[in-house]
Structure 1
């Protein structure tokens, strides 16, 4: 165990920039949400009217928290807490996989195990590292909320609840890393579990029982199947119940103990879920670099496509609901005007949901291009390029498949939007607005393809952290920037903030030509520099 401090320092140093982005970004989101709520819903009456409409349209609760009253703090946490917990969960699961299964893949774990550190110390160092990261995230959320003037007790409960969800998914990530053969498989398993549990909590709230004054909901039993639901049961700034926090933390530690037990009975590099046996003869698809990339990226593209389908359904299904809410609540109308740029309520709903869709498409693009870096660190890129495969063509294959992934996500959303209109017998003219806005998000998401590819060529070790950081920053600027009152120049830094949209006067092309120029110039530069780039060493 004498190697434990050195291993912990190595993890803290290696993740320093990423942890600052995750934790500071999450705390900043909490602070800015309060600022927005205090401006848009300055009176208890306006907050109460929103909650009453939510009770009448429980589908809204699928992506919101648990209503616990019209108080300023409780209402703000109803709007934002699920996203704070989601960020903590993603940070923790990625951290766990990176320092366990990821290190095994690149051979680093084998070298460490050959020293006096042994096999258990790295896992314990990763566990400690994850706990410290969530303590930091929780502390920064507490500071951010108290800086707004909210009460100390509710702020502490909010921060601890988000951090406790992070601890739970730290355990999920550690167990996933023991079960799956690859880091991508472990990340996929953890992410799918995360999304399933996130939606389970939302569904449990949607099926709950409203109070007689329509200001709070008693969740259904489904909520208690999800750590997100447990954390929401703390009801910050209302009941401030610490019990569910203990439950989340206990589950995280239990899963961490299970990961330790699983590691002790498997070989280094082995897994409990075996890799699927390949065919005796490869298909024709694998005869080209492009076909290989398609095979690698296909499962993740399908997953992001499902997310696009759900987003499209919600965009048109909720459009009329939000229009009706805005008719009776000028505060919501002002928010939609700020976020969607002066459109009517239904068009504004489409714009906001399809801005979220652009973020999903950008995530699909970044994940696909980042596979080039994973292939490089795993040593499989060297085998591919040892054949008569030009390295420019190799990188172009990842970029092309990423673009196809963007199209799949947008197309799935368009299909979902059409299904939503058909289900509610809506105005089919809205489908034209959906198509225009979706096409604009294709251009916006494509910027992330070339940006990630350029980082991969110039600074390969920063490919994965910087690629995802660009998406996170763009989300804050493009989706929340108008709501938080950011200056126009800051919002325009996000490709989503300058993507073409529909307005009451027609189509606003905004920065379409700049987006196209950026994609063309960035793509040409990345491919040109790749021609003379050597394979980078493992990180």
Structure 2
């Protein structure tokens, strides 16, 4: 028996387990191609239109951080400028979640030990996970390439776009494979892998923002940090503007190296253990752990701490960019128009519109934390700890409501931290730090009701469809993020944009905070959460 014996059967098992989740991820990601193509053709039908908006973008570091460095004014290059980095992030998240689900989660729940008792090689499980995820990324890349070709884009650039997206997804699959060997829990592995995706996006954004604007005024050559990021590699392929195929060597080499490291670590640890074992807890529990709320806080505090650090760092970065953005807004009407659209339109002060756009991003980040935190009850249910807790005097509603309370409170903490960091850094550079901290903190907290909608939805699907809860909750977050945050820029109809709760949040500080939409969003969130609690109370535990 070799180390890979049984791989084919485990591949079939993994495909069966993911027969719903992976197709949803692939279809939900690929569907943005026709949306963006239609938006580009409607809003920028001529090269002159595209040159004008790209010249605006090259003068705004904040926009380059969010998008990427523009490489040309052709229709295909404009589509890549509008689409590429977001799809790369989605491909990365799809890959990391799937790899961890079929490796570390299987060990955590005992499935790997049961399967390993049969004729299965040591590397079969990890290999099967990588094969399935690599295949999913190839399908995604193929769909993207075919969609672009079908819309009349050059074949070489279209295939390059699909290949680049597939490659970046495969790279992050390798990252997740290593993370699954290091940690002893699936949550920690998912956290590490997702953090790497986030860092890759930020590093790419930093390299693009620091890039050199070319004499034509509408293209940028990225700085060296972009080459440190897998997401930067796919943008540096310059689809439709040179098609640098040799860049694909970087993700392929990185994937091979990470898989080699993962295989090496696999044979150096026991099944169910990680290279970094969990720390032993204190001999005696604190009084707080006698309550379900205290237990939920103990389980969630590490996740909240990580998100808080990230939000403070991002908020400080936004505050430090305020003067640069103000200069760009004062000099270029196109940049100002784009910022205003990110903030939801209107004729407000341009700096207020910029901060409103950033507050919307804070709201999306807080919603991401909420979804991650409220998937903890599902992992507890599937892994068995929930059964042990609920076998005591702890009621179902109390147990789930405790996790919900920690998630909601954590979202508020994140928004306060990000808003205060933005106001403090901006105030230190321009004066009036105290007032700006209060203003930015209040503006950030306005985003809380939209995040609560995602919390309510996560609880509702957990109560109704527990096996699909993770996929549906993250799908709802992705749709809300793309439609709500970028719907105006993509030219989506208002009826489509209204699907996202972020669309209904007042664009503070660019607009006044009105109570009605905030109350309505909160009421919907409460109704969804209550429905989820009631459904969970009436169903059996599901592994």
TM-score over 0.5 for the pair: yes
Compared with structure 1, are the counterparts of its residues 415 and 207 closer, same or farther at alpha carbon in structure 2 (3 Å cutoff)? Answer: same
Say which is worse superposed, 235-244 or 273-282, in terms of deviation.
273-282
1:528 correspondence with 2:534: yes
User: Unaligned regions of 5+ residues in structure 2, if any?
Assistant: none
Pick the aligned partner of 1:182 from 180, 185, 190. Answer: 185
Say which is worse superposed, 120-129 or 328-337, in terms of deviation.
328-337
Say which is worse superposed, 502-511 or 108-117, in terms of deviation.
502-511
Cα offset for 1:274?
1.5
Given that 1:339 and 1:483 are in contact with CA atoms closer than 8 Å, whether structure 2 keeps it comes out as no
For normalisation by structure 2, the TM-score amounts to 0.90
Pick the aligned partner of 1:351 from 345, 353, 356. Answer: 356
Given that 1:499 and 1:510 are in contact with CA atoms closer than 8 Å, whether structure 2 keeps it comes out as no
Compared with structure 1, are the counterparts of its residues 128 and 235 closer, same or farther at alpha carbon in structure 2 (3 Å cutoff)? Answer: same
Map of 1:477 onto structure 2 = 483
Map of 2:420 onto structure 1 = 415
1:72 correspondence with 2:78: no
Given that 1:323 and 1:346 are in contact with CA atoms closer than 8 Å, whether structure 2 keeps it comes out as no
1:401 correspondence with 2:372: no
Cα offset for 1:199?
2.1
Distance 2:276 2:342 in 1: 48
1:262 correspondence with 2:268: no
Post-superposition Cα deviations, 1:485-509, rounded to whole Å, max 9, x if no partner, equal 3333332222112223348774445
Distance 1:322 1:79 in 2: 23
For normalisation by structure 1, the TM-score amounts to 0.91
Distance 1:330 1:205 in 2: 19
Given that 1:499 and 1:512 are in contact with CA atoms closer than 8 Å, whether structure 2 keeps it comes out as yes
Say which is worse superposed, 69-78 or 170-179, in terms of deviation.
69-78
Cα offset for 1:272?
0.9
Cα offset for 1:407?
0.2
Post-superposition Cα deviations, 1:447-472, rounded to whole Å, max 9, x if no partner, equal 22222112222222122111111111
Give the alignment of 1:87-106 within 5 angstroms.
Answer: 87-106=90-109
3-state SS of the aligned residue for 1:483?
A: coil
Given that 1:502 and 1:508 are in contact with CA atoms closer than 8 Å, whether structure 2 keeps it comes out as no
Given that 1:112 and 1:118 are in contact with CA atoms closer than 8 Å, whether structure 2 keeps it comes out as no
Compared with structure 1, are the counterparts of its residues 269 and 507 closer, same or farther at alpha carbon in structure 2 (3 Å cutoff)? Answer: closer
Cα offset for 1:374?
1.0
Pick the aligned partner of 1:377 from 365, 376, 382. Answer: 382
1:284 correspondence with 2:290: no
Give the alignment of 1:21-420 within 5 angstroms.
Answer: 21-58=24-61, 60-313=63-316, 321=325, 324-325=328-329, 328-330=332-334, 333=337, 336-337=340-341, 340-344=344-348, 345-420=350-425
Distance 1:192 1:391 in 2: 32
After superposition, the CA RMSD in angstroms is: 2.8
Post-superposition Cα deviations, 1:388-410, rounded to whole Å, max 9, x if no partner, equal 22221111100100111110121
Post-superposition Cα deviations, 1:318-339, rounded to whole Å, max 9, x if no partner, equal 5672784486335862773486
Given that 1:180 and 1:272 are in contact with CA atoms closer than 8 Å, whether structure 2 keeps it comes out as yes
Name the count of aligned residue pairs.
537
Given that 1:498 and 1:510 are in contact with CA atoms closer than 8 Å, whether structure 2 keeps it comes out as no
Cα offset for 1:131?
1.0
Post-superposition Cα deviations, 1:88-115, rounded to whole Å, max 9, x if no partner, equal 1111111111100110111111111111
Cα offset for 1:39?
3.3
Cα offset for 1:202?
2.4
Distance 2:461 2:201 in 1: 32
3-state SS of the aligned residue for 2:81?
A: helix
Distance 2:339 2:211 in 1: 27
Cα offset for 1:141?
1.5
Post-superposition Cα deviations, 1:236-292, rounded to whole Å, max 9, x if no partner, equal 111101111122022212312322232123221122111112222223332221111
Given that 1:339 and 1:480 are in contact with CA atoms closer than 8 Å, whether structure 2 keeps it comes out as no
Distance 2:522 2:231 in 1: 40
Cα offset for 1:475?
1.6
Given that 1:53 and 1:325 are in contact with CA atoms closer than 8 Å, whether structure 2 keeps it comes out as no
Given that 1:501 and 1:508 are in contact with CA atoms closer than 8 Å, whether structure 2 keeps it comes out as no
Map of 1:448 onto structure 2 = 454
Distance 1:362 1:127 in 2: 29
Distance 2:169 2:45 in 1: 31
Distance 1:75 1:340 in 2: 22
Cα offset for 1:36?
2.6
1:458 correspondence with 2:464: yes
Distance 1:173 1:327 in 2: 44
Distance 1:146 1:351 in 2: 37
Compared with structure 1, are the counterparts of its residues 60 and 524 closer, same or farther at alpha carbon in structure 2 (3 Å cutoff)? Answer: closer
Post-superposition Cα deviations, 1:17-36, rounded to whole Å, max 9, x if no partner, equal 22223222222223323333
Say which is worse superposed, 165-174 or 310-319, in terms of deviation.
310-319
3-state SS of the aligned residue for 2:31?
A: helix
Given that 1:369 and 1:453 are in contact with CA atoms closer than 8 Å, whether structure 2 keeps it comes out as yes
Post-superposition Cα deviations, 1:64-92, rounded to whole Å, max 9, x if no partner, equal 32332233322332343222211111111
Given that 2:329 and 2:335 are in contact with CA atoms closer than 8 Å, whether structure 1 keeps it comes out as no
Say which is worse superposed, 216-225 or 430-439, in terms of deviation.
430-439
Distance 1:79 1:522 in 2: 33
3-state SS of the aligned residue for 2:312?
A: helix
1:489 correspondence with 2:499: no
Distance 1:331 1:39 in 2: 19
Compared with structure 1, are the counterparts of its residues 251 and 99 closer, same or farther at alpha carbon in structure 2 (3 Å cutoff)? Answer: same
3-state SS of the aligned residue for 2:118?
A: coil
